[in-house]
Amino acid sequence: MANTPYPQSYYAASANAAPPRPVLQGDVETDVCVIGAGYTGLSSALFLLESGFRVTVLEAAKVGFGASGRNGGQIVNSYSRDIDVIERSVGPRQAQLLGQMAFEGGKIIRERVAKYQIQCDLKDGGVFAALNSKHMGHLESQKRLWERYGHTQLELLDERRIREVVACDNYVGGLLDMSGGHIHPLNLALGEAAAVESLGGTIYEQSAAVRIERGANPVVHTAEGKVRAKFIIVAGNAYLGNLVPELAAKSMPCGTQVITTAPLGDELARTLLPQDYCVEDCNYLLDYYRLTRDKRLIFGGGVVYGARDPANIEAIIRPKMLKAFPKLKDVKIDYAWTGNFLLTLSRLPQVGRLGDNIYYSQGCSGHGVTYTHLAGKVLAEALRGQAERFDAFADLPHYPFPGGQLLRTPFAAMGAWYYGLRDKLGF
Ligand SMILES: Cc1cc2nc3c(=O)[nH]c(=O)nc-3n(C[C@H](O)[C@H](O)[C@H](O)COP(=O)(O)OP(=O)(O)OC[C@H]3O[C@@H](n4cnc5c(N)ncnc54)[C@H](O)[C@@H]3O)c2cc1C
């Protein structure tokens, strides 16, 4: 029997205790079978259980094994492409609905943490850092745009003010979002899994869905059992493989890498990020970082198209960290890992229904901590028969990557090289 452990990350090393979870054996009947115990699956399961559905979750490895247990932990509002792009590509009613939902995911996380007493080091405050005047102009428009959709917790930071929150000389300014923030991502997932179980849901680990028998009464097969359900939610994201071939063509798994320093001590940590906000810069291939509860710096960046695991993560990410904070040159790196997110060509989420009863949401393209929590709510609404908000996502246009499955990776890497060059030249 396969037994897939967590990758060796800081999060796995500092995870809250979790109960052993069974492997699915034999036949189970339920209302909704959720495939994948990341945020999309767990958020869906929680909203459905709260609405009275019976829910069974199948997880190929362990709760939070995928991106949800490995990410930068940054609570970032909106989507990987912002509302202005959505406004230009869809009709006004759909754009308005999507715009109104852009800040809901962060609220859902905070509600979940409060309601289920989840210990995940939640902190308020996230900074978008501008490396040049073009970035700053973009942040000024972003503030106006988000305020138009009701956001009230934004502050533009000039060159002097950003130094008060990030001790990095590279920035010309920034935008502080007090409804952004950060969490220990794996502990959030583990807390949500415990909440699912407290409401009577069942989570099977080491129980990959290997086949879906479609039809009026769909059945999900694992190696040793099967789940008969009224509905299925596919939430395997970048780790789904080819279980649902229709979904694979319009998305591409990509890797991004994270390192974690040894504990810095309170004093050094405070000199870097005095208010303990998280930070991401405005580059297309962006750097993101924050402090942990025990005052380590978690620093992420880089994208590997096609999700191959790079051989030496520290060699890729450490120079980026030192560019931001040269004073960390003698600090040891204790952990380095990679994780996969799912990219779509438009960088907007891929949401929909196959037949009458198989629902999916995936492909939030790098910024997914908030969106995936919203997705759970929107999927649960659709299963309850209220599909307006679900349809707003499902009607977003999606296109296959140029070059098909074979050539999509080099094509996307070429695109990223171009944008990386633009980042370097400050365009
Ligand atoms: C390194 C990294 C850093 C990131 N940083 C940030 C950040 O700071 N802020 C932010 O907003 N976003 C960030 N993201 C993106 C964010 O983490 C993801 O968008 C989000 O966690 C996706 O959640 P998910 O539940 O859809 O997928 P996942 O968390 O990947 O979960 C999918 C789960 O499905 C399981 N699964 C797959 N196939 C099957 C199957 N056949 N049967 C059963 N189970 C299956 C997998 O094992 C996995 O546990 C980052 C991503 C990575 C990789």
* Residues 14-72: tens digit of each pLDDT: 999 999 999 999 999 999 999 999 999 999 999 999 999 999 999 999 999 999 999 99
417 located within any domain: no
φ, ψ of residue 256 in degrees (nearest 5)? -140, 150
Mean pLDDT of 374-381: 98
Determine, yes or no, domain membership for 172.
Answer: yes
- 279-312 residue pLDDT tens: 999 998 899 999 999 999 999 997 776 667 788 9
* Cα 121 to Cα 188: distance, rounded to the nearest angstrom: 9
Q: For residue range 90-149, what is the model confidence (pLDDT) as tens digits?
A: 999 999 999 999 999 999 999 999 999 999 999 999 999 999 999 999 999 999 999 999
pLDDT in tens, 208-239: 999 999 999 999 999 999 999 999 999 999 99
Residues 162 and 219 both lie in one domain: no
Confidence (pLDDT) at 309: 76
- How much distance in Å is there from the Cα of 401 to the middle of ligand 1? 21
16 plus 118 within the same structural domain: yes
- Distance between Cα 87 and ligand 1 center (Å): 27
CA of 133 to the centre of ligand 1 (A): 33
Ligand 1 atom closest to 43 (CA): 25
* pLDDT at position 374: 98
**Cα of 381 from ligand 1 centre, angstroms:** 22
68 CA to middle of ligand 1, Å? 4
Residues 290 and 304 in one domain: yes
How many angstroms separate the alpha carbon of residue 253 from the centre of ligand 1? 10
State the DSSP string of 289-335: EEE-TTSPEEEEEEEEET-PPPS-HHHHHHHHHHHH-GGGTTPPEEE
For residue 408, pLDDT over 60 is answered with no
414, part of any domain: no
Confidence of residue 404 (pLDDT cuts 50, 70, 90): low
Cβ-in-10-Å burial (0-12, 13-18, 19+) of 170 comes to middle
Q: What's 49's domain CATH number?
A: 3.50.50.60
Residue to mutate (ligand 1; options 6, 43, 335, 341; most atoms within 8 A of CB): 341
From ligand 1's centre to the CA of 391, what distance in Å? 23
What's the mean pLDDT when you consider all of the chain?
Answer: 93
Please give the pLDDT value at position 218.
98
User: Residues 70, 213: one domain?
Assistant: yes
Where do the H-state alpha helices sit in 333-403?
369-383, 388-394
Question: Which atom of ligand 1 lies nearest, measured to the CA of 39?
Answer: 25
85-89, 175-179, 184-188 — which is least confidently predicted? 85-89
* Whether residue 111 sits in one domain with residue 6: yes
Whether residue 147 is contained in a domain is answered as yes
Same domain, 173 and 213: no
**313 and 196 in one domain?**
no
Number of domains within the chain = 2
The pLDDT, as a whole number, for residue 310 is 82
Which residue's CA lies nearest to atom 19 of ligand 1? 368
Residues 130 and 199 grouped into a single domain: no
- Same-domain pairing of 6 and 29: yes
Burial 107-142 (b: 16+ CB within 10 A, else e): ebbbebbeeeebebbbbbbbbbbbbbeebbebbeeb
Residues of the domain holding 137: 124-178+252-343
Residue 194 covered by a domain: yes
Pocket, ligand 1, Cβ cutoff 6 A: 35-41, 58-61, 65-68, 70-74, 76, 208-209, 235-240, 243, 256, 258, 288, 300, 339-341, 362, 364, 366-369, 372
Please choose from 239, 256, 281 the residue to mutate so as to test ligand 1's pocket, defined by most ligand atoms within 8 A of CB: 239
pLDDT at residue 419 greater than cutoff 80: no
In a domain, 420, yes or no: no
- pLDDT of 366 reads 84
Query: Which residue has its alpha carbon closest to ligand 1 atom 35?
Result: 36
Residue 407 CA from chain centroid, whole number? 25
Which single residue is written with the structure tokens 């490995």?
70
Asked whether residue 69 is domain-assigned, the answer is yes
* Alpha-carbon span 11 to 13, nearest angstrom: 5
Atom of ligand 1 nearest to the CA of 370: 11
pLDDT digits (tens, 9 = 90+) for 310-346: 889 999 999 999 999 999 999 999 999 999 999 998 9
Q: Are residues 270 and 357 in the same domain?
A: no
**Is the domain of 266 the same as that of 384?**
no
Residues 168 and 204 in one domain: no
CATH number at residue 336: 3.30.9.10
